Amino acid sequence: MALSPKFDILAIGNAIVDVTAPVAEAFLSRHDMRKGAMALVDAATAETLYAAMPPAGESSGGSAANTAAVAALLGSRVAYLGRVADDQLGRVFRHDIAAVGVHFPTPPLAGGAPTARCLILVTPDAQRTMNTFLGACVSFGPDDVDPALVADSAVTYLEGYLFDPPAAQEAFRKAAAAAHAAGRQVALTLSDAFCVHRHRAAFRDLVANHIDILFANEAEVTALYETNTLAEAVTHARRDVALAAITMSENGSMVIQGGETALIRAEPTSVVDTTGAGDAYAAGFLAAHTRGLSLQQAGRLGSIAAAEVISHYGARPMRDLSKEMASL
């Protein structure tokens, strides 16, 4: 049996600053965007698109980084690995994650691409459509994964978006191997249905052979298993992973573990911007899970955290969450 770990969660992902603006539906069609999806864009496209965007707000983002920040706000001990550049937006990212007490040892990239940014268009229905310029993230690789840190973390949490930058897949596998060698768990979020399409074979292999806890929404899990129904996909997931949490937007979430299924209702809130909803859900879930709480409690804390971040613009909480754990 492994020693008690120093961290509850080690999150690994693309370190990104979000650039968020409200837009009309017409903006998406004018720019050929798939609503609700994340598209990768190069530097030139990012510049062109930014020039066309309305006034925006900048805030730290990145899927796994959002999860790390929310979990830390819920009282978990959290570390994060991801690559920013040595520039103003990189310092914003570092400040924001350090300010909630997340250990962030990855050094910034000097003299290369700038800090990644995600141009997020929020339509009046609160849906977000994302365009990511990966920038400095493409230099994140296996050398950035310290096996000792992985071994010292109860759960290593990986974002599916990390399949996009070329060197990160290897980092992914290195982290999963180090976690299991130390008797720890590995969690994965599928991130985005189109990301799953881009890397389906690699995802299927990873989920079947290296993942203990799977996070996905309906579109992502059916894309992974190429099924028509959620029920079929859940059957596959039940076989592949020890524990899975499937989010279903306003319909709540479904947590499966072996033959057991827990259904958790969504927390009612006024929805402004859904950016970060899944990230916050995973944070609440893992914060409760790593404290040994029940599936129902874990799902409930996920719902509460998600409700907070979708009630305003930006993917991270704007209020104190320290009392939420105690309220379960």
Which of residues 6, 36, 45, 50 is near its own copies by CB under 8 A? 50
Strand arrangement of the beta sheet that strand 253-257 belongs to: 78-81, 7-12, 153-159, 185-189, 213-217, 243-247, 253-257, 260-264
Lookup: tokens for 26: 């017409």
Q: Closest distance between its own copies and the C-beta of residue 88, in Å?
A: 4
Q: Does 89 bind its own copies (CB under 8 A)?
A: yes
Q: Does 77 bind its own copies (CB under 8 A)?
A: no
Segment lying near its own copies (by CB under 8 A), choices 93-101, 127-135, 145-153, 205-213: 93-101
- Return d(Cα 220, Cα 212) in angstroms, integer: 17
Q: Closest distance between its own copies and the C-beta of residue 8, in Å?
A: 19
Segment lying near its own copies (by CB under 8 A), choices 49-57, 74-82, 193-201, 280-288: 49-57
CB–CB of 272/310 below 8 Å? yes
CB–CB of 264/296 below 8 Å? yes
Question: What number of chain residues touch its own copies (CB under 8 A)?
Answer: 28
Strands 7-12 and 38-40: unpaired
Closest-CA residue to 72 (of 284, 247, 266): 284
DSSP H helices in 38-129: 43-52, 63-73, 88-99
Segment lying near its own copies (by CB under 8 A), choices 6-14, 53-61, 258-266, 283-291: 53-61
Closest-CA residue to 80 (of 143, 11, 130, 138): 11
Nearer to its own copies, 278 or 317 (CB): 317
Q: Closest distance between its own copies and the C-beta of residue 319, in Å?
A: 7
Q: Does 27 bind its own copies (CB under 8 A)?
A: no
Q: Does 132 bind its own copies (CB under 8 A)?
A: no
Phi and psi at residue 101, in whole multiples of 5°?
Answer: 90, 15
Lookup: tokens for 200: 């389906």
Which of residues 71, 76, 96, 145 is near its own copies by CB under 8 A? 96
Which of residues 53, 168, 214, 244 is near its own copies by CB under 8 A? 53
Around Cβ 242, how many Cβ atoms within 10 Å? 13
What ranges make up the beta strands (E) of the chain?
7-12, 16-22, 38-40, 57-60, 78-81, 116-122, 128-133, 153-159, 185-189, 213-217, 243-247, 253-257, 260-264
Q: Closest distance between its own copies and the C-beta of residue 68, in Å?
A: 12
Q: Closest distance between its own copies and the C-beta of residue 211, in Å?
A: 29
DSSP H helices in 53-199: 63-73, 88-99, 147-151, 168-181, 193-198
Which of residues 39, 56, 113, 248 is near its own copies by CB under 8 A? 56
Q: Closest distance between its own copies and the C-beta of residue 207, in Å?
A: 32
Segment lying near its own copies (by CB under 8 A), choices 3-11, 92-100, 245-253, 254-262: 92-100
Which of residues 30, 34, 43, 88 is near its own copies by CB under 8 A? 88
Segment lying near its own copies (by CB under 8 A), choices 159-167, 168-176, 231-239, 315-323: 315-323
In the complex, the residues that contact its own copies under the rule CB under 8 A are 22, 50-51, 53-60, 69, 87-89, 92, 95-97, 99-100, 114, 312-314, 316, 318-319
